């Protein structure tokens, strides 16, 4: 009991302990705020990528695609662990408008809207058809026209600096001309001579805001059958680029992806003697994480680097605690000598200063965590005020696909940060405490030590 009482007394009477508390509090404050925001950004980014592709993707990198997909989709639809499937055509093309003198390189995605909204989060990205996403390709101004859904960042003047996208009450009438090179199953150009390109006109029916920069700035969605025709994948042996699969709720991702892989291997083996069986060999079955690894990976590496940087910040905190405790202990030689002379063992002296370090760490961590949580709760209000007053934003929303600043506080992360701060305080105090405990009573009570 005397150890705790003395530790509290030292904490209250030594002003220098305020430096140690401030160092711990500042460190915890920075880590809580930055880690919460970074974790939120990574979590949101993963969720957006998951919504874009669904749970599992059966795809090929070749623009030629692969055949016999309808048979495999039929097999998938019979499985209890499969909730929905969507066949997709993906290719590249050029976009222009009637009478325009410009061309823009785009990515084309051909989908069946009704299927795709079941297999992915496509419905959540729409604006004008948010309540009837199955009709995404039907222009409201003329249902007889063939519509297309445009990545929202392809729209002219679609976003202001505050991050808000402009939408008129009704979709504007835009005619868009899309051209691409159709390919044969062998990878050659499907059309000879000077007329090598397939060109079709579509009319703007909606836009898609996936909040993925590379998608929203390049992608145009068109009806599946039109994309298949443009890309040369229709005909006697229809081909496709990918099949997106959504599993039933609660289904294990890796386990079910392995089931799909086994089904695909069996399907390839059963069709190995068919004419275009070689195209099936280049098809891969991936979970959404594997499929989007090249997109998600860099951001996760940044998160790891940030954790390492905060580890270095923790080392600085340990050093500050070390210096403060060394100074305190150097001025407490009399107390140490008296304690040792009345029979307090070395371990007791060490424990006394460890208690002291725990108090410093706990109070500093508590102050830092409270301040960090307070800032996080008001983060978006603070940024809103800064933008309204000084036109300043943490992220320029006209450049970055970020909405509100993530400020969801995860209690387990907060607990780990606070416990780490207390541990850092103990580590910083350990060496001075051991040095103090090893002092002999006669040495500690010398006049020049008092």
Q: Please give the sequence-ordered ranges of beta strands (E in DSSP) within 152-241, or none if there are none.
A: 175-180, 198-208, 219-223, 239-240
Give residue limits of the domains in the chain: 2-46+296-449, 61-282
Residue 53 confidence (pLDDT)? 96
User: Residue 20, Cα to own-chain centre: how many angstroms?
Assistant: 35
**Cα separation values, 321 from 316, 329, 334, 358, Å:** 9, 12, 22, 11
- The two three-digit tokens of residue 137, written as one number: 């390709």
Helix (H/G/I), strand (E/B), else coil: 141: coil
- The two three-digit tokens of residue 270, written as one number: 């059963």
Cα 213 to Cα 391: distance, rounded to the nearest angstrom: 23
User: Residue 170, Cα to own-chain centre: how many angstroms?
Assistant: 33
Task: List the beta bridge partners of residue 46.
Answer: none
Cα 181 to Cα 419: distance, rounded to the nearest angstrom: 60
Q: Is the pTM higher than 0.85?
A: no
Cα 69 to Cα 66: distance, rounded to the nearest angstrom: 7
Placement of tokens 């979590």 in the chain: 43
Residue 344 has pLDDT above 80, yes or no: no
Cα 369 to Cα 35: distance, rounded to the nearest angstrom: 12
The DSSP string of 229-272 is HHTT--SSS-EESEEEEEEPTT--HHHHHHHHHHHHHHHHHHTT
Cα 186 to Cα 232: distance, rounded to the nearest angstrom: 11
Helix (H/G/I), strand (E/B), else coil: 442: helix
Query: Which of 13-27, 76-90, 127-141, 367-381 is least confident?
Result: 13-27
Handedness of CA 411, 412, 418, 421 (dihedral sign): negative
Band (pLDDT 50/70/90 cuts) for residue 6 is low
Closest CA to 82 of 55, 104, 101: 55
Mean pLDDT score, 7-35: 83
For residues 415, 418, 420 and 426, what is the CA-based torsion angle, rounded to 10 degrees? -140
Closest CA to 180 of 226, 223, 145, 138: 226
Pairing outcome for strands 66-67 and 104-111 = unpaired
Q: What percent of the chain has pLDDT over 70?
A: 86
Q: What is the pLDDT of residues 91-107, one digit of tens each?
A: 999 999 998 889 999 99
Residue 157 confidence (pLDDT)? 66
Cα 95 to Cα 106: distance, rounded to the nearest angstrom: 7
Band (pLDDT 50/70/90 cuts) for residue 440 is low
Residue 166 has pLDDT above 70, yes or no: yes
- The two three-digit tokens of residue 83, written as one number: 């909730």
Q: What percent of the chain has pLDDT over 90?
A: 50
For residues 135, 139, 144 and 147, what is the CA-based torsion angle, rounded to 10 degrees? -80
């Amino acid at each position: 009991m005397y150890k705790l009482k003395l530790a509290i007394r030292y904490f209250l009477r030594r002003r220098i302990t305020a430096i140690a508390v401030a160092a711990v509090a500042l460190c915890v404050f920075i880590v809580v705020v930055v880690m919460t925001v970074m974790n939120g950004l990574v979590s949101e980014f993963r969720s957006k990528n998951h919504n874009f592709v669904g749970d599992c993707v059966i795809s090929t990198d070749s623009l030629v695609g692969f055949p016999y997909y309808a048979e495999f989709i039929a097999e998938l639809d019979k499985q209890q662990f499969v909730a929905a499937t969507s066949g997709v055509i993906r290719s590249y093309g050029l976009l222009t408008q009637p009478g325009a003198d410009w061309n823009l390189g785009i990515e084309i995605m051909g989908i069946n809207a009704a299927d795709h909204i079941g297999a992915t989060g496509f419905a959540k990205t729409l604006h004008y058809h948010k309540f009837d996403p199955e009709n995404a390709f039907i222009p409201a101004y003329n249902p007889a026209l063939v519509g297309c859904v445009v990545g929202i960042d392809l729209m002219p003047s679609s976003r202001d600096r505050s991050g808000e996208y402009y939408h008129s009450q009704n979709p504007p009438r835009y005619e868009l001309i899309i051209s691409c090179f159709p390919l044969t199953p062998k990878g050659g150009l499907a059309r000879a001579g000077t007329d090598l390109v397939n060109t079709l006109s579509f009319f703007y029916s909606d836009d898609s805001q996936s909040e993925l920069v590379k998608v929203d700035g390049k992608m145009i969605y068109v009806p599946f059958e039109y994309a298949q025709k443009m890309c040369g994948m229709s005909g006697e042996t229809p081909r496709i680029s990918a099949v997106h699969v959504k599993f039933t709720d609660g289904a294990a991702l890796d386990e079910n992806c392995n089931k799909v892989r086994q089904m695909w291997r069996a399907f390839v083996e059963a069709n190995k003697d068919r004419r275009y069986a070689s195209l099936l060999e280049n098809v891969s079955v991936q979970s959404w994480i594997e499929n989007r690894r090249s997109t998600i990976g860099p951001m996760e590496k940044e998160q790891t680097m940030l954790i390492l940087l905060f580890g270095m910040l923790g080392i600085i905190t340990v050093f500050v605690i070390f210096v403060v405790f060394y100074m305190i202990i150097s001025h407490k030689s009399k107390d140490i000598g008296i304690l040792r002379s009345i029979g307090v063992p070395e371990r007791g002296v060490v424990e006394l200063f460890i208690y002291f370090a725990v108090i410093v760490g706990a109070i500093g961590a508590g102050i830092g965590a409270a301040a960090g949580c307070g800032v996080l709760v008001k983060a978006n209000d603070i940024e809103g005020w800064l933008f309204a007053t000084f036109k300043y934003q943490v992220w320029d929303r006209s450049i970055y696909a970020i909405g509100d600043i993530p400020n969801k506080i995860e209690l387990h992360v907060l607990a780990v940060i606070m416990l780490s701060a207390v541990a850092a305080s103990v580590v910083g105090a350990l060496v001075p405490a051991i040095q103090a405990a090893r002092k002999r009573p006669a040495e500690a009570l010398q006049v020049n030590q008092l």
